[in-house]
Amino acid sequence: MVDYRDHKPITIDEFNGLWRRGDDENVPLDHFSDGKNVQFFDGGYRTRDGLAPYNVSDDCINLSNVRRIHSYRSQGASDSILVLDTLGNIYHSASPTPCTPILSIPAMTDFSILAIGTKVYISPHDGTLGLENEFIYVYQGNGVPARKAAGAKPLGVLTGVESASVGIIEAGVHIYGVLYETDTGFLTAPAGFVAVTSTGGFKVDLSNIPVPPSIYVVKKHVVATRAINPTLFTGNLEGYQFFFVPDAELTPAQTTYSASFYDVELLDDASHLLDNLEEIPAAAAINKFSDRMVIGGIWGENNAEWVIVRVSEPGEPEAFNSVDGLFSVEADDYPITNLQEYRDALYIFKQIRTYAVQDNGNLPSTWKPITIDQGVGASVHGVAQVLDSGGINIEYLFTIDWSGVMIFGGTFSRPEFSYKIRDLWLGLSRTLFNKMQIVNSSIKQHLFIVLPDGSILHGDYSQGASFDKIKWIPFTFDAFITTITLINTDTLILGALEEV
């Protein structure tokens, strides 16, 4: 028998996950050189938990091939999911008719969303850019199919004359117009302008007010200018400042209105609506910043829109000014992939660039982005948030970059969070990073990353969010996993392809 009396045993108190960096002899004793499908507990590991089916409905035979899922809290319901299949159909699991698509675009291979209240804005894209000649849609969670966000301005021209009825319109030329309000609160650009010269002391009768063709218009508003000196009136019907006429809210079917107001009552400015986009272009990135909707990664001729961020009016997510509601970042061969608000700044990501901009209180066209990192960015679905204990402010972000999984807190922490598995990460195909997706279960302190080969990379950072304490391990499945999301805070939902 061999004598082991001089042997000093090595105690391994805890297994710390996968190590895939350098030669096998460099693997620390408390790490795996290879492994999969385990989960960790204090001092050890065991086989990972199994899966249970998430059935939208037993009748939804079209949901066997899934490209993308997003969680969404709809009207009066707990968390539900939006599901995109391989035919370009999006379904809503909490819809009264969950097997009926709420949006169908055959060219759509991916989509991004922004939920505001119970509404959700859906942006169809191909994993790189918003689809050409496509738009952002709004869905209200009730099973009624999604429709284009924003809306067209009224058609036709108003008729206006000074009335014989006594009123309080002041002497001079007033220009009148009308605009629509939709069921999501969007206000269209005003139109139908007519100039009426008042002698003073009478009402103005407006007629021929257009009836909207869309059932989504719930009311109409009359707008007007203050009195213009007739000798100075240029005849330009859109070259003056417009205001909402007080209490001039009309039903969609109403075609006449008698205006009577003092100019000093015209306080609510409507001029910014003149340049509103009627349709919002589809984008790869969509998010919220400073109480505005922001979008980026927009298709455009000669890549002109690749580097533009469009910004809505404050509190009006569908109101995008076509002239002043935008700014741009550095022009290069990389489109914008992601947008994220963090500590009062908007961070703009490309695959290998990161920029930041702040709301200076002026028009978005005056905002000046600065470069944060010239070599690190994030992919289209490559930003996961980490919330503080109060769930109010984002503490830091996890991002997916070509160089690794990164922790972002205004700057990128070094070394990369995926330091232990550097060789595994650098072996991933860069052309497929737009297929990857990262989510963070902040309560359990687990990361889940969909990899291009249909597996999931699991990271347990419950012992500390640092590159040396996280435990990495791959999860593999019989199905080809394409997408993941979290519902009810920490329940992981997986989407897969039935056929690859």
pLDDT score of 12 more than 80: no
Confidence of residue 249 (pLDDT cuts 50, 70, 90): very high
Q: Are residues 311 and 422 in the same domain?
A: yes
Q: How many residues does the chain have?
A: 500
- When pLDDT is cut at 50, 70 and 90, the band that residue 339 belongs to is very high
Q: Three-state SS for 24?
A: helix
Question: Token match 């503080």: residue?
Answer: 388
- Let me know whether 493 and 450 are in one domain: yes
pLDDT given at position 292: 96
Per the CB < 8 A criterion, the answer to whether 438 and 405 are in contact is: yes
pLDDT of residue 489: 80
Q: Do residues 352 and 377 lie in contact, with contact meaning Cβ atoms separated by under 8 Å?
A: yes
Separation of first and last alpha carbons in the chain = 55
Q: Which of 242, 275, 308 is the last residue of a domain?
A: 275
Please check whether residues 142 and 180 belong to one and the same domain. Answer: no
Give the C-alpha separation, 153 to 499, whole Å. Answer: 45
Give the E-state strand segments of 183-224 in sequence order.
191-198, 202-207, 217-224
In this predicted structure, what is the pLDDT of residue 395? 83
Is residue 56 one of the residues assigned to a domain? no
Higher per-residue pLDDT: 4 or 124? 124
3-state secondary structure 42-100: CCEEEECCCCCCCCCCCCCHHHHCEEEEEEEECCCCCEEEEEEECCCEEEECCCCCCCC
Range from 48-62, 131-145, 243-257, 344-358 carrying the lowest mean pLDDT: 48-62
Q: Is residue 292 part of a domain?
A: yes
Q: Look up tokens 């997706």; give the residue.
A: 437
CATH code, domain carrying 122: 2.130.10.10
> Is residue 13 pLDDT above 90, yes or no?
no
pLDDT at 302 (0 to 100): 72
Across all residues in the chain, what is the average pLDDT? 91
Q: Is residue 134 part of a domain?
A: yes
Mean pLDDT of 153-164: 96
Beta pairing class for 326-328 and 159-169: unpaired
**Is 324 domain-assigned?**
yes
Greatest C-alpha distance within the chain? 121
Residues 96 and 169 in one domain: no
Q: Are 201 and 264 part of one and the same domain?
A: yes
pLDDT tens by residue, 384-442: 976 543 334 568 899 999 999 999 999 999 999 999 999 999 999 999 999 999 999 98
Q: Are 446 and 460 in contact (CB under 8 A)?
A: yes
Q: If pLDDT is split at 50, 70 and 90, which confidence band does 274 have?
A: very high
- Show which of 275, 301, 326 is a domain's final residue: 275
Counted domains in the chain: 2
Give percent of the chain above pLDDT 90: 78
Residue 397 sits in the same domain as residue 329: yes
Cα gap 113→107, rounded to integer Å? 17
Beta-strand relationship, 217-224 and 172-182: antiparallel
In a domain, 47, yes or no: no
204, part of any domain:
yes
**Tens-digit pLDDT profile for residues 38-79:** 988 877 788 998 888 776 665 565 567 899 999 998 766 678
Calculate what percentage of the chain has a pLDDT beyond 70. 93
28 neighbors 13 (Cβ within 8 angstroms): no
296 shares its domain with 415: yes
In a domain, 44, yes or no: no
Indicate if 269 and 326 belong to the same structural domain.
no
Q: Does 215 share its domain with 325?
A: no
Report which DSSP code applies to 425: H
Which of 210, 244, 275 is the last residue before a domain boundary?
Answer: 275
Q: Please give the pLDDT value at position 393.
A: 55
User: Do residues 415 and 447 both lie within one domain?
Assistant: yes
The type of residue at 66 is: V
Task: Domain of residue 251: give its range.
Answer: 159-275
Task: Please tell me the predicted confidence (pLDDT) of residue 388.
Answer: 42
- pTM here is 0.92
Decide if 4 is inside a domain. Answer: no
Residues 290, 418, single domain; the answer is yes
Based on the fold, state whether residues 300 and 439 are members of the same structural domain. yes
